[in-house]
Amino acid sequence: MVYLILIFVFTLGMHGLNVGDKVPLFELTDQDNKQVRIVDIIGTGPIVIYFYPKDDTPGCTIEACSFRDQYAEFEEYGAKIFGISTDSPADHLEFKRKYNLPYTLLSDPKKEVQQLFGVKRNFLGLLAGRVTYVVDKDGKVVHIFESQIRPKKHITEALNILKGLI
C-alpha cells in the first residue's frame, strides 16, 4: 500500500510540458551511435517526438510502423520524427532495420529526457509512458497526446496538428 501511495505522490509531483512551453534542450545517442542535439533541429521545421516503452513489443511496433507508413506525409509538412525509449543504440538499430523505419530512434537509458518532458510511467509505474509531442519550427510545443493503448492514434493526432501548422 505504501508503494502505491509513493507512486501516486511521485506522479503528482512530476511536472510535464504543457502546450506553449519551449521544448527542453537535450542531446541523445541515435541508433548509429551519433549524438543528436535538439538545438540543431529547432528552426528546420516541425518536430514530432514520441516516447514509447520498448523496441519490438507489440504496441510499440504498431506505433513505429504506423509512423513509417505515414512518413511521406510527415515529410510533406517538413517534419522530423524522433522516437525515444530506454533501449540501447544497438537495440534501436536492430529495430529500425527489422521494420525499415526511415526516421531516427534515440536512446534515453537513464530516462533523463523522459524526466525533462515529464513523461509519466503507466500501469502502476511498470511501463514507460507513450506520449507524442508536436513541436513547431520555433521549438514551441503545440500538441501533446498520451495514450498507452491506442498507438496508431499518435500518428493521426500528429498529422492533424501538422496540417494546422501549414
- What are the residues facing 28 on neighbouring strands? 36
Q: Which residue has the cell 544497438?
A: 90
pTM: 0.86
- What are the residues facing 81 on neighbouring strands? 48
CB 133 within 8 A of CB 59: no
- CA gap 117, 98 in Å, rounded: 28
Identity of the amino acid at 49: I
Q: With bands split at pLDDT 50, 70 and 90, how would you rate the model's confidence at 147?
A: confident
| 65 has catalytic annotation | no
Task: Work out the mean pLDDT of the chain and round it to a whole number.
Answer: 86
Kindly tell me if the per-residue pLDDT of 162 is higher than 70: yes
The number of folded domains in the chain is 1
Q: Which domain holds residue 158?
A: 2-165
Which candidate, 71, 25, 49, 66, places its Cα nearest to that of 153?
66
CATH number, domain at 80? 3.40.30.10
Q: Which of 41, 60, 79, 119 is catalytic?
A: 60
